[in-house]
Amino acid sequence: MATINDLVLAHIDNKPAFYARIEDISPDVKPGWWKVKLLVLTVPLQVYTWILDESQVNGAPFTMGNTPIMLEKVVPPEPPSPVAPVEKGGDAPKKGGKVVSLFDRKK
């Protein structure tokens, strides 16, 4: 279920169109419908408020002006696992590569 602060990908005309963050979900005057405030992640930032039912907020396709639209919740990838610290006295794995200081560079 998509909720406040979730990222969504809006598909318009069956093509990915833009990413947005759900800023607010509040009840509409029509029972069973919700005002969904989206912060559209474009340059410049934009704010849209769409009136949707619960199934549409959760990914069911719908239309606006005969244009197919769908919101897909974005699940961010898991961050890489942290590297285990090397115990003192143990041999650290050797990596090929040379550390170059930016301050020691020739001008």
Tens of pLDDT, residues 6-50: 999 999 999 999 999 999 999 999 999 999 999 999 999 999 999
Number of domains in the chain: 1
Query: In b/e form, how buried is each residue of 71-103, taking b as 16+ CB within 10 angstroms?
Result: beeeeeeeeeeeeeeeeeeeeeeeeeeeeeeee
pTM: 0.71
Within-domain flag for 18: yes
Comparing 19-28, 48-57, 78-87, the range with the smallest average pLDDT is 78-87
Write the CB contacts of 10 (distance below 8 Å, at least 6 apart in sequence).
Answer: 16, 17, 18, 19, 20, 38, 69, 70, 71, 72
Within-domain flag for 42: yes
Within-domain flag for 11: yes
